[in-house]
Amino acid sequence: MTANTLENPPLLRLRGVSKSFGPVRALVGVDLDVPAGAVTALAGDNGAGKSTLIKCIAGIHPVDAGEILWDGSPVSLRGPADSAALGIQTVYQDLALCDNLDIVQNMFLGRERLRRGQLDDVAMEQAATRTLADLAVTTVTSVRQSVASLSGGQRQSVAIAKAVLWESRLVVMDEPTAALGVAQTAMVLELVRTLANRGHAVLLVTHNVPNLLDVADRVAVMRQGRVVDARERARIDQRILVDLMTTGSTDREVA
């Protein structure tokens, strides 16, 4: 499956993307391809530029230089609404959901279904329930419960379900398993795989090397604001990944 999906043209392509904050050069000529139907993992040490890069993709930071190609056409992302309109959904570690709203309200936030100008809560509740069931998210007992009462894993599940519901073409995930226990991590990684298998492009940012190797189809490694290497999962292992993260190059081959 992996080999097949990699033959498709990438859904998102960054070419020479740079971003500076005052004198700090956070991104220096970044090239990155994110194909549909695959999990692209973005690895790198603290301060390598991963967060800045996903914020550029999410439309939060406008890029200083370089091109962002969506389906092969150049786009400019001037705000989160621009990215959302293209079909990019970013799942932030803590900021993916509004705590004061319930699950249904969160899943439809910004794209509420209306009937004669009025919120169609019944339809939204049914669609949300269907999507969660479809993804085999069974730990959530009621879609009308407040998001504040959910566990970390449930929150990530809801955020992923939202991406499916909105038919987001690219789902960017920032450390989705950072605060989770073993079982919940497995559940979320399973959902990440499901997303890719259903044809969504997934860009996964994580520090967790074993998780990353578990779930990724492709791995891009960042160091000092550059993407220093991007290769298929089959051509990388833990030692190679650590080499790339710490020195930017490697002379090892997968054993």
Partner 1 sequence: MESATRARTPVATSWDHLLRNPLVGPLVALVVAVVVFSLVTDTFLRPGNLALVLQQSAVIGILAVAQTLVILTAGIDLSVGAVAVLGTIVLAKVGGTEGAAVGLLVTVAVLALIGLLNGVLVAGLHLPPFIVTLGMFTAVFAATQLYAGSATYPVEPGLLTWFGTKVQLGGLVISTGVLAMLALYLVAWFVLTQTAAGRHLYALGGAPEAARLTGIRSGRVLVLVYLTAGLIAVLAAWAALGRIPNADPNAYQNANLETITAVVIGGTSLFGGRGSVMGTLVGTLIVAVLRNGLTQAGVDNLYQNIATGALVIAAVALDQVSRRRAQT
Binding mask 87-126 vs partner 1 (x if CB under 8 A, - otherwise)? ---x-x--xxxxxxx---x---xx-x-x--xxx-------
Q: What is the 3-state secondary structure (H, E, C) of the chain?
A: CHHHHHHCCCCEEEEEEEEEECCEEEEEEEEEEECCCCEEEEEECCCCCHHHHHHHHCCCCCCCEEEEEECCEEECCCCHHHHHHHCEEEECCCCCCCCCCEHHHHHCCCCCCEECCEECHHHHHHHHHHHHHHCCCCCCCCCCCEHHHCCHHHHHHHHHHHHHHCCCCEEEEECCCCCCCHHHHHHHHHHHHHHHHCCCEEEEECCCHHHHHHHCCEEEEEECCEEEEEEEHHHCCHHHHHHHHHHCCCCCCCC
- Minimum distance, C-beta of residue 151 to partner 1, in the bound complex (Å): 9
- Minimum distance, C-beta of residue 167 to partner 1, in the bound complex (Å): 15
Question: Interface with partner 1 includes 246 (CB under 8 A)?
Answer: no
Question: Interface with partner 1 includes 70 (CB under 8 A)?
Answer: no
Q: Site residues for partner 1, window 124-183 (CB under 8 A)?
A: 140-142, 145-146, 148-150
Question: Interface with partner 1 includes 69 (CB under 8 A)?
Answer: no
Question: Interface with partner 1 includes 68 (CB under 8 A)?
Answer: no
- Minimum distance, C-beta of residue 12 to partner 1, in the bound complex (Å): 17
Which residues in this chain contact partner 1 in the complex, by CB under 8 A? 58, 60, 79-81, 83-85, 90, 92, 95-101, 105, 109-110, 112, 114, 117-119, 140-142, 145-146, 148-150
